[in-house]
Structures are given as structure tokens and as C-alpha cells.
């Protein structure tokens, strides 16, 4: 659905892809087998839009979690935390490497 990129600094690896809208995330069958929400957001100040596992409040609640760090560690990668994408007005809360 977009250009793939893998984050080398994540133990066990983690790959994502470029996007222009949330609908680009999980658009390919089997891409998101857990059924969790992924969102399209800017990666820090690069203006590069990529898909991330969402840790926005509604998604935590829907999964029965109150602790965003535990949620990200369980559903994304044990090395991930929940934080802002840091993209200004397009900012999202997503699971990213600590």
C-alpha cells in the first residue's frame, strides 16, 4: 500500500509503510492480524507519513487497557511506548520505539 520501511533499532524488528490516510493502514489482507487500529501519522519532524499501531484513548479503551505502555508492549513490540508522533497539527498518539 506504500513504501515499506523497517526500524533497525527495534529488537526483533518492526516494519511499517508510508501512507496518506488512516485507510492506507491495514488495507492489505493479513497486514494487521490482531485487528488493532493503525493510524497514519507524521514521524517526528520528517514530514514522512507512516502507519503505526494507535494508542489513542479510544483504542486503549476498546482493547480493555488503561496503561498505554503495557498496551504498546503487548500489541506492537516489547520495546515500544505510547507517545506523540511529534508532527504538529497532524500529531497522533502511537506506539513507537522507546
Q: For 21-77, what is each residue's pLDDT tens digit? A: 999 998 888 777 777 889 998 876 667 888 889 999 999 999 999 999 999 999 888
pTM comes to: 0.82
Determine the pLDDT at residue 21: 92
**Residue 28 burial (CB < 10 Å; 0-12/13-18/19+)?**
exposed
CA atoms of 82 and 97, how far apart (whole Å):
9
8 or 54, which is more confident:
54
φ, ψ of residue 25 to 5 degrees: the values are -85, 135
User: How many contiguous H segments (helices) and E segments (strands) does the chain have?
Assistant: 2, 6
- Encode 48-74: b = buried (16+ Cβ within 10 Å), e = exposed: ebbbbbbbeeebbeeeebeebeebbbb
Q: At 87, is the pLDDT very low, low, confident or very high (cuts 50, 70, 90)?
A: low
Amino acid at each position: 500500500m506504500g513504501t515499506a520501511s523497517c526500524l533497525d533499532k527495534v529488537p526483533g524488528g518492526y516494519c511499517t509503510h508510508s501512507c496518506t490516510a488512516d485507510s492506507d493502514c491495514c488495507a492489505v489482507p493479513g497486514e494487521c492480524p490482531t485487528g488493532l487500529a493503525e493510524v497514519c501519522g507524521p514521524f517526528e519532524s520528517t514530514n514522512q507519513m507512516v502507519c503505526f499501531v494507535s494508542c489513542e484513548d479510544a483504542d486503549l479503551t476498546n482493547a480493555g487497557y488503561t496503561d498505554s505502555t503495557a498496551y504498546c508492549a503487548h500489541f506492537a513490540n516489547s520495546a515500544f511506548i505510547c507517545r506523540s508522533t511529534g508532527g504538529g497539527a497532524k500529531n497522533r498518539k502511537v506506539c513507537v520505539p522507546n
